[in-house]
Every structure is written in structure tokens, then in C-alpha cells.
């Protein structure tokens, strides 16, 4: 098999310390697939390191040396997510976001409270009387591609972390194992958006979540379904 292309995740797009945000890495890896794509993360994606993306019979394999980092393939259309909350409800989500002292990865590009200057600052909390976690987001011009719209990998990142908080990341730190995402429409810088996450299932250390990105008036722009794995407790 020969390399189809390479990807490299800049250092600013970290998730856990020393590795890439899973959504960013998955979005870059799935860049050649039209429509919904599923990415399985087999190892922490490195930062500032070229990874080889190799064509396979049903998609792509992403490698760092001999290590398989991600497997990528087209997937079926995702089920429609629940409707978005109203914009005012979504604005109240961060009021219920866990404090920085309890955040396992406070430097995460997407959800890290320590990244208020250069991160996405998606602080998705669970408002009273709402079944999911939510926040609002207005992406800036630095996140746009050459066509003037927000880059796909940034949208994959925005769909990533809200799923973890929907299933209790603040109580049980976990990492992304699989994400299937479908970008229906890409927003422009300055658009006022609603980001939402919902719990799907809990099975021991495995947890399922769904996320959605909506316009201010509730039109679905992008969605994902995810599998998260709780980290094993440190041995004393």
C-alpha cells in the first residue's frame, strides 16, 4: 500500500496533554471522504508529526511509523439528532460547566478553560430542565478555509468534546475511541451557532454520545455519534 497523503496536527490543536484533539485529527483524516465518515482512534494522534494516510479497500489507515493511529471509512447516514434548544437556553449552558479544578484536560483546544485566548471555548453544561449539554459558539475568521467557510476539521472538533460532557466526563475522565460525523452545511465566521451533546448509552467503561451543531434558529449544520472509553483509575 502506498501513502495517499499525509496529515499533521499543529501543536495548538491538542486534546489531552501531548496529543491531538480527537475531533481535529479525525476530521483531517476523513478529509477525502464525501458525506458521513467514521473514524476509529487506535492510538493518541501525535502533534507536529506527519502521519501517513494510506488507502485501503474500504477507506484509509492513518499511521505514525508502524503504529496504526486511526482507521477511516465512509459510513451510513446518521439518525437525525434531537432538536436544538433555544438560543437563550444554550447561552446558559456554560453556567453549568464544571470548574477548571475538576477538568481532566484543562488545556484542551476545544473545551479547556485554560484556552480562553486561543481555543474554541465550548463549555457545554446542562441547563436546568434540559436533557443535553449545550453552549453557543461564534467562530472567528482565523478558522475559515480558502472558501471563506469554517474548515471541516474545526467542525469535527466542535462536535467532539460536547459528547464527553453529555456522558459525565467531569466525573469519569475518558478519551474518544470512535466518531462518525456528517457535515451537512458549513457556517461562516461570525455566525451565531448552538452546540449540543446528548448521552446515548452507558455500558461499563464504554459510553455513547451524539452531538449536533445548529444555526441560531435551529437548522442542523453538522452532527456526530461517538464512542468514549473511560480511563482506568491510576494505581496507587
Residue 223 makes CB contacts below 8 A (sequence gap 6+) with 78, 81, 159, 181, 182, 184, 210, 211, 212, 213
Q: Identify the residue whose cell numbers are 474545526.
A: 154
For the segment 55-83, what is each residue's pLDDT rounded down to a tens digit? 999 999 999 999 999 999 999 999 999 99
d(CA 113, CA 120): 10
DSSP state of 96: G
Q: What is the pLDDT of residue 30?
A: 97
For the segment 17-51, what is each residue's pLDDT rounded down to a tens digit? 999 999 999 999 999 999 999 999 999 999 999 99
d(CA 123, CA 209): 16
Mean pLDDT score, 160-166: 96
> Using 50, 70 and 90 to split pLDDT, how confident is the model at 178?
very high
> Using 50, 70 and 90 to split pLDDT, how confident is the model at 172?
confident
Q: What is the pLDDT of residue 180?
A: 98
Q: What is the pLDDT of residue 68?
A: 98
Amino acid at each position: 500500500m502506498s501513502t495517499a497523503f499525509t496529515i499533521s496536527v499543529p501543536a495548538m490543536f491538542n486534546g489531552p496533554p501531548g496529543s491531538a484533539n480527537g475531533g481535529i485529527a479525525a476530521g483531517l483524516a476523513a478529509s477525502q471522504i464525501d458525506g458521513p465518515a467514521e473514524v476509529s482512534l487506535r492510538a493518541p494522534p501525535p502533534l507536529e508529526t506527519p502521519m501517513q494516510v494510506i488507502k485501503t479497500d474500504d477507506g484509509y489507515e492513518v499511521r505514525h511509523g508502524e503504529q496504526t493511529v486511526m482507521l477511516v471509512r465512509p459510513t451510513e447516514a446518521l439518525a437525525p439528532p434531537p432538536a436544538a434548544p433555544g438560543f437563550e437556553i444554550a447561552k446558559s449552558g456554560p453556567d453549568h460547566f464544571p470548574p477548571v479544578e475538576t477538568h481532566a484536560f484543562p488545556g484542551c483546544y476545544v473545551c479547556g478553560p485554560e484556552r480562553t485566548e486561543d481555543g474554541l471555548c465550548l463549555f457545554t453544561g446542562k441547563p436546568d430542565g434540559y436533557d443535553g449539554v449545550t453552549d453557543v459558539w461564534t467562530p472567528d475568521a482565523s478558522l475559515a478555509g480558502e472558501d471563506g467557510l469554517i474548515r471541516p476539521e474545526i467542525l469535527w472538533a466542535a462536535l467532539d468534546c460536547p459528547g464527553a460532557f453529555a456522558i459525565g466526563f467531569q466525573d469519569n475522565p475518558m478519551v474518544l475511541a470512535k466518531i462518525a460525523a456528517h457535515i451537512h452545511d458549513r457556517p461562516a465566521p461570525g455566525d451565531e451557532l448552538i452546540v449540543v451533546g446528548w448521552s446515548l448509552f452507558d455500558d461499563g467503561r464504554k459510553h455513547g454520545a451524539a452531538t449536533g451543531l445548529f444555526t441560531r434558529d435551529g437548522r442542523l449544520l453538522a452532527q456526530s455519534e461517538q464512542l468514549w472509553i473511560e480511563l482506568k483509575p491510576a494505581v496507587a
